[in-house]
Chains A and B, each alone.
Chain A
Amino acid sequence: MRRIVIIGFGPVAARLIEELEEPLAQSRVHVCVIGSEPEGAYNRILLANLVTGHSTPQDLDLACDETNFPEGVTFLTGTTLSDISLDGQYLHTTDDRLISFDDLIFATGARAVLPRVPGLDVLDTDPCHLDSIPLPGVHPLRDMSDARRLREVVETGQDVLVLGGGILGIELALNLVEHGVQVSLIHRGQDLMPRQLDPDASRMLAHVLRQAGIQVIPGGINGVRSEGGRFTGVVLDDGTVREAGALIPAIGAQPRTEWAKKVRLPTHRGILVDHQLRVHGTSNIYAIGDCAEVLCSNPVCPECMAIDYQDSAPSGLIGPGWQQAQALADILDGTHNRVPSQVSQLITMKSQAVSLTAAGSVHARAFEQPRVDVATWEDPRTGRYLKVVSRDRNILGFVALGAPEAGAELAMLFERSGAAPGDPSVLLAADTPSGADTAPELTPESIICRCAGVALAPIQQAVSAGATTVAEVSKCSRAGTGCGGCKDKLESVVSQAMAA
């Protein structure tokens, strides 16, 4: 029986265990999963729901536990490592367990990047054990305990500052403001989400966020204030101080590669793995999820050649992580599978108030490049911005802000490499108030009763022949004798015909 050991117990590790169900059931493998958090795996992407009180921890629970895997899996939660020996093929935990493995999987995830500013001491001592909060009141939203602490701040009604102009920060700010929290969003530079949005879209987004009640503050912070060992506010770029109950840094994530580095595995931003998720230069060591960077060592791999090494990084998204877990389960079980190095760049804002979907490269401008079609719609009054960049109807990129129907359709098409509409303005129709609001002018041929197929003319004839009530008109014309859905319409038509 092969012994598989997974370091890290997040949603990607949980998915791997689920995908190994068959080899587990047939006793072909044994899995040991080691997580530092006290709770089992939970769905990290729903953490914001905990802060706003929309979900409870049970709602997020991934049910990857002894109840669902009574055999073949050892769950070690609240457990940290003290040593890894690749040559000896064993791990040592701080509670003095020795765990040997045939296959070792890094699923250590990523931690939030904290701002390096005066007042916030980010310790650089032993990164293998660094996950502590530098200052109470400063909480990135990465795990259950962060969510609990932020929930406390929100419940006391204090203001919250979100630092970071990326999608996660904006989502969080929107989520909080919807639940009545006073939120300011502080971001570096001029533009929000500069990688995913063109400058016009960024500006529209800032406008929309302000309308949603978020104070958007460009420029970043210069320092953090505290009192009695607790966060009280930040010093903005221009020197002004802004007080708040909590600061939520959302300026990026850093793959947890400490242990990999310690045992001299190759890393870049993440742990470097090939398309079979194997760590470069190893045969039985793998990495998946937010700690894994898929960039193979084959110098002629067309997929990886296309990637600029400087830009290469783990995607930080759950979708690719789960795809990797699925693929790795096959690979560990001896079935061929592979993962791509480049993943879809589709992003969708999780928010009730603001609908934003974007993907691909959207910085192209009209007339700039031959054969690249750029169509843009921009209307600050409605907060709507739509941009579609395409070549021969292949969608290269798009932004749909305040246009949920167009965004959904484009997202679906982008993911399937589907064709853009010949005239993208048709996409706007679904997001504008429907034309059915105003009743069209009736003609004698207009169908009044669909069930019986009765037009206006026979109803008018019935009235001129002496019918005076809807019931009488129904009897001789059959109008209104089916589902009865046309009753209101019929009443108004009959009264109009009587008046005529």
Chain B
Amino acid sequence: MSESLITQEPPASHGVASHCPYCALQCAMTLTPNSDASEPVTVTGREFPTNRGGLCRKGSSAAKVLGLGDRITQPMIRTAHGLEPTTWDHALTAITEAIRGTQREHGRDAVGIFGAGGLTNEKAYALGKFARAVLRTSRIDYNGRFCMSSAAAAGNRAFGLDRGLPFPLTDLDRAHAVLLIGSNVADTMPPFVQHLASAREHGGLFVIDPRESATADLTRSEERECGIHLAPTPGTDQELLLGLIHVVIAEGLYDAAYVASRTNGFARLKRTAQRYWPEHVQSLTGVPAAKIRAVARGLATAKDRGAFVLTGRGVEQHTNGSDTTSLAINLALLLGLPGREPGGYGTVTGQGNGQGGREHGQKCDQLPGYRSINDPQARAHVASVWGIDEQDIPGPGIDATQLLLSCGTDHGVRTLMIHGSNPVVSAPNATRVTRALADLDFLVVSDFVLSETAQLAHVILPVAQWAEEEGTMTNLEGRVIRRRRALPLPGAARDELAVLAELSTRLGSTMFFGTAEQMFEELTRASAGGRADYSGLSYDLLDQERACYWPYPAGSAGTPRLFRDSFPTADGRATLADVSPRAIAERIFDGAELTLITGRLLGHYQSGAQTRRVPELLASDPDGRVEINPETAHLYGVVEGQLLTLHNERGTVQARARLSRQIRRDTLFMPFHFAGSNSVNRLVSSATDPLSKMPEFKATRVWVSQEEQCVA
């Protein structure tokens, strides 16, 4: 075979061992610098438990983002002529003046920080510290509010702790049954699918999704049934889960000894579940009663050999998302799964550092170590690490949705710094959010591409990308891993940690901001004694490529599996939350209107700011098509490829129709990776879950009209 066609494995000595810039699976890869400016490192999959050497097309093309022609390598500042290149000194002076001016005129809380779940642990920690100890503002939150907040709230409520997967992902390789609720891993993190093989082999892959997604499709194969797909009408997840719980209780399939010795709240849960017998649930959800029974029994049969309940954004991103997640946890607890090996409940974290990002203090109500900002002891501990008075740490702030909507208002945020996020595309009610951002006195965006949000900035700071920086990430398992530098920073780009250090000094603060390793060392001290305790970790340890799962207190060897003997709650028991179905913000009752759900495509990541710039990814998915059932399309007189207008009281979006039998007749699906008139979050409401403050991303009432004749 001809040599030229085969990509040679790079010699290990030349490659840098790191991880993918995208999702929480954090596939391991080797980065080998080369002389190709448009793709300055060669990416090859590296053997690692989560990806086993595999990469999806996002990961394998990730290096293209490093060599983009429109990469920002120079600070930019807004002038009368628009955004123009400037010097760091000029840019930082402008920022410092804006912060000082805003603080003087409107108070400390008028300066805000908006972080991200894609930032390294060090940056997440540094942002929290910068907000609380330098700016002394309570106004910090992050885009993870839009991802993991419901699962986090439910996990904390049930277990007293929130680690996405409280077990190594490879435990799934021994599964006899896996119930995936609202998660489409086959598109969002394809190498994950390897870990579903065992459940599929045992006929135990159960998927709940209103769409027959690529993941739901895995319940079938040409040879045999691999599992069952349940497709409830949107907004009825809670009823469906109560139906499963009903069967487990009514047929005595639960683990009575576990429930009696390790949980609280069974009597009330049982009472509520009695009201949801499968035939009743069928009439609420559209899911046949027989299938509900089959899934409940399938899970229960596997409970002693390896059964898992996993949730994703599909059920979590609702105004009742934390309650729905609690019901999923209840089901797992009834079957005695949490703490069993193999077995358990987990949430499939989405963003690259979606786990670490929610632990180190960039949440509005949180301090490092996954501590509550209201806890006097936690405040005292963190204050001592920062060398400040506990009184000087602000109290809890406001959630991401409120923070963004407050921008530019009288008592809201007037100067905002955004790091690693593109809320113009990703925030709910995006049109209103965009207007609010435009109303700011001053907007600073740290990014490496001219994202839709960066385009609104007064100052853009060019920062490092994944392959240009050192740091740590905490993957979906709670395993802490190293991100390593393979390339120098291009042009005048700087590391965000260095930027925060400089700004801190310019603002007259003596707070310490050092290198990634120094920040990590401080982070581990700040986390000591917290729920997410990293105090036994160091770069030296991580560089040995040891499997390090938090909590990792000093002197321990970490915690690959949680909850074996007890739960970190006051009495050591888990809580079965008493949840009764509550209507989501825009629940559609009559079945005549259409519900828009949103999600991801295989070829794109988050707001698409990176992946839309990769030619082969853009080619495979050039725009956000709206999936519509052919029967629904027929009723509306819509044909394949036709440009449709979706609208509601919040806005209007345009998208081409993609006819698909894989979607319910009452449901439309649209991906959220696209901008402008193709940006689906313009339709999404800013109503939030009372507990988690998660917006209602996945059930939006829309009306459809046709724009023009068939073009495709």
- Which residues of chain A are within 8 angstroms of B57 by Cβ–Cβ distance? 451-453, 478, 482
- Give A382 to B73 CA distance when docked, in angstroms: 68
Chain B nearest CB: distance from A440 CB in Å? 11
- Which residues of chain B are within 8 angstroms of A349 by Cβ–Cβ distance? 279
- Give A58 to B253 CA distance when docked, in angstroms: 12
- Give A475 to B42 CA distance when docked, in angstroms: 14
- Give A417 to B218 CA distance when docked, in angstroms: 33
Is A348 an interface residue, CB under 8 A from the partner? yes
Is B285 an interface residue, CB under 8 A from the partner? yes
- Which residues of chain B are within 8 angstroms of A46 by Cβ–Cβ distance? 250, 277
- Which residues of chain B are within 8 angstroms of A62 by Cβ–Cβ distance? 271, 274
Is A436 in contact with B282, judged by CB distance below 8 angstroms? no
Size class of the contact patch on chain A: 35 or more
- Give A352 to B283 CA distance when docked, in angstroms: 17
Is B250 in contact with A59, judged by CB distance below 8 angstroms? yes
Is A152 an interface residue, CB under 8 A from the partner? no
Is A483 in contact with B631, judged by CB distance below 8 angstroms? no
Is A483 in contact with B271, judged by CB distance below 8 angstroms? no
Is B283 in contact with A415, judged by CB distance below 8 angstroms? yes
Minimum CB distance partner of A43 in chain B: B274
Is B620 in contact with A408, judged by CB distance below 8 angstroms? no
Q: Pick the interface stretch among B188-196, B500-508, B544-552, B646-654.
A: B188-196
Is B286 in contact with A412, judged by CB distance below 8 angstroms? yes
Which of A43, A319, A476 is B7 in contact with, Cβ under 8 Å? A476
- Which residues of chain B are within 8 angstroms of A59 by Cβ–Cβ distance? 249-252
Contact with B along A401-428 (1 / 0, CB 8 A): 0001101110111111111011100100
Chain B nearest CB: distance from A282 CB in Å? 29
Is B270 in contact with A63, judged by CB distance below 8 angstroms? yes
Q: Pick the interface stretch among A49-57, A158-166, A271-279.
A: A49-57
Which of B251, B267, B289 is A49 in contact with, Cβ under 8 Å? B251
Is B1 in contact with A468, judged by CB distance below 8 angstroms? yes
Is A465 an interface residue, CB under 8 A from the partner? yes
Minimum CB distance partner of B27 in chain A: A482
Which of B283, B589, B590, B635 is A411 in contact with, Cβ under 8 Å? B283
Is A350 in contact with B592, judged by CB distance below 8 angstroms? no
- Which residues of chain B are within 8 angstroms of A478 by Cβ–Cβ distance? 57, 60
- Which residues of chain A are within 8 angstroms of B287 by Cβ–Cβ distance? 408
- Give A423 to B665 CA distance when docked, in angstroms: 12
Is B201 an interface residue, CB under 8 A from the partner? no
Is A482 in contact with B190, judged by CB distance below 8 angstroms? yes
- Give A13 to B278 CA distance when docked, in angstroms: 22
Task: Name, among A423, A453, A482, the residue most crowded by chain B CB atoms within 10 Å (CB to CB).
Answer: A482
Within 8 A of A (CB), among B578-630: 589-592, 602-603, 616, 620
Is A45 an interface residue, CB under 8 A from the partner? yes
- Give A484 to B217 CA distance when docked, in angstroms: 15
Chain A nearest CB: distance from B5 CB in Å? 4
- Give A329 to B53 CA distance when docked, in angstroms: 60
Is A254 an interface residue, CB under 8 A from the partner? no
Within 8 A of A (CB), among B2-59: 2, 5-7, 45, 52-57
Minimum CB distance partner of B3 in chain A: A466
Which of A426, A438, A451 is B191 in contact with, Cβ under 8 Å? A451
- Give A18 to B217 CA distance when docked, in angstroms: 42
Which of B1, B56, B282, B592 is A483 in contact with, Cβ under 8 Å? B56
Is B305 an interface residue, CB under 8 A from the partner? no
Within 8 A of B (CB), among A78-100: none
Is B602 in contact with A483, judged by CB distance below 8 angstroms? no
Is A422 in contact with B631, judged by CB distance below 8 angstroms? yes
- Which residues of chain B are within 8 angstroms of A412 by Cβ–Cβ distance? 233, 282-286, 591
Which of B45, B277, B293, B602 is A45 in contact with, Cβ under 8 Å? B277
Is B420 an interface residue, CB under 8 A from the partner? no
Minimum CB distance partner of B274 in chain A: A43
Is B275 an interface residue, CB under 8 A from the partner? yes
- Give A477 to B200 CA distance when docked, in angstroms: 27
- Which residues of chain A are within 8 angstroms of B252 by Cβ–Cβ distance? 55-56, 58-59
Is A135 an interface residue, CB under 8 A from the partner? no
Is B484 an interface residue, CB under 8 A from the partner? no
Q: Evaluate whether A482 and B250 lie within 8 angstroms (CB atoms) in the complex, with A404-B291, A468-B1 already known.
A: no
Is A437 an interface residue, CB under 8 A from the partner? yes
Is B70 an interface residue, CB under 8 A from the partner? no
Task: Give A residues with C-beta under 8 Å from B.
Answer: 11, 15, 18, 43, 45-46, 49, 54-56, 58-60, 62-64, 67-68, 319, 322, 346, 348-350, 352, 355, 357, 404-405, 407-409, 411-419, 421-423, 426, 429, 434, 436-439, 450-453, 462, 465-468, 472, 475-476, 478, 481-485
* 29 residue pairs from A and B, CB less than 8 Å apart: A15-B275, A18-B271, A49-B251, A62-B271, A63-B270, A63-B271, A67-B267, A319-B280, A348-B283, A404-B289, A404-B290, A407-B282, A412-B233, A412-B282, A412-B285, A418-B591, A419-B592, A434-B220, A451-B57, A453-B57, A453-B602, A453-B616, A466-B2, A467-B1, A472-B6, A481-B54, A482-B54, A483-B191, A485-B218
Task: Give B residues with C-beta under 8 Å from A.
Answer: 1-2, 5-7, 45, 52-57, 60, 186, 190-194, 214, 217-218, 220, 222, 233, 249-252, 267-268, 270-271, 274-275, 277-280, 282-291, 293, 589-592, 602-603, 616, 620, 631, 634-635, 661, 665-666
Q: Which 3 A-B pairs have the closest CB atoms?
A: A418-B591, A466-B1, A483-B193
